[in-house]
Amino acid sequence: METITLFVLEATSEKPIHALEAIITATGGVERALVDTSDGEVKITFDEKQVTPEQLMETLRQHGFHIV
């Protein structure tokens, strides 16, 4: 398992955080996602054999999230 940390602009309020978590955890190979609501920090633990960091970031972008 590998872990990446992203900062997502919208991940500071409840509704976008729930949507973000649902999208990430529905992605194959993702074990868990932890969101820090104070600064939008998102830690994603995933199986690098099933999904790449680039694929995770692109999935979030396709759903309207902005990675900073």
pLDDT at 37: 86
Q: What is the pLDDT of residues 8-27, one digit of tens each?
A: 999 988 999 999 999 999 99
Contacts with 19 (C-beta within 8 Å, 6 or more apart), sequence order: 63
Q: Identify the CA nearest to 27 among candidates 39, 13, 42.
A: 42
Check residue 8 and report its DSSP letter.
B
Enumerate residue ranges in the chain where pLDDT < 50.
none
